[in-house]
Amino acid sequence: MYIISPSILSANFTNLYKDVSAAVEGGARFLHIDVMDGRFVPNITIGLPVVKSLRKSFPDVVFDVHLMIVEPERYVEKFIDVGADIVTFHVEATPHIDRTISLIKEKGAKAGIAFTPTTPLEYLNYIKDIDLILIMTVNPGFGGQKFIPTMHRKIHAARKIIDENNWNAYLEVDGGIYPENIKQVADDGANVFVAGNAIFGMGNPYERVKEFLKILGYE
C-alpha cells in the first residue's frame, strides 16, 4: 500500500485548516509535520501548539512528525502527548539512537529514523525494532528543492535491508517528490511519499493528492 504524506511546511499557514482538509479529502492518510530548531537545520518551523491544534481538527489522520532538531530525545514525549502518531528523528542528531527509539515506543507511538543524503545506512545494522525509515532526498531544512538523483540507489538499498530483516517498517522518502518521479521512487521500494510544494504549492491540494494516487495505481 502506498501512502501520501503531505508536508505542511509548504502549506498556506494563513489558511492551514483549509489546505490540510483538501489534502485529506483527496486521499492523504498521513500528515507530515516538519519540526526544525534552527540548529540541526538552518530554519525554524512549527512546534507543539500547532500540532496540538491540528490534532483537534483532524483526529483520524496519522500525524507523521519529523524532528529535525538536536537532542530529539528531549521532545519526543511532548510531541506524542499533543498528538504525534509517528515520531521520526535524525540519526545524526543524537548519540542515543536506541534509547530514543525505546522512549518513543514506550509512549505508544511508532518510531522512525531519518537519514540525510550523505549519511550512510550502516546505522541500521545496530537497530532491531523500527517502524519507519526516512530517506531524505534533498538536504533538509527548506521545501521546494530538487530530488538528488543518486538517492535512488539509497532508497533501493534501504528497501533491501528492510526485506532482508523482515521488518514491518515503512520506507518513506522526503524531498523533491513530484508526479514525474514518484513512480520511479515507488519502484525503488518506497511506500510513503512526503510531498510539500507539489501538493500545497501547485493548485488545489485535493487534486494534487488525487494525481499522485492515480500515478501509483489508485483511481
Catalytic residue among 37, 131, 174, 188: 174
Catalytic residue among 34, 37, 64, 131: 34
Active site residue 131: no
> Distance between CA 171 and CA 186 in Å, rounded?
10
> How many CA atoms lie within 13 Å of 168's alpha carbon, on the beta-carbon side?
1
* Helical (H) or strand (E) element with 24: helix 16-25
Active site residue 174: yes
Q: What is the DSSP string of 90-159?
A: EGGG-S-HHHHHHHHHHTT-EEEEEE-TTS-GGGGGG-S--SEEEEESS-TT-SSPPP-TTHHHHHHHHH
Cell digits of residue 66: 519529523
> Distance between CA 164 and CA 132 in Å, rounded?
15
Q: If we measure between CA atoms, which residue out of 87, 21, 27 comes closest to residue 54?
A: 21
The catalytic residue positions are 34, 174
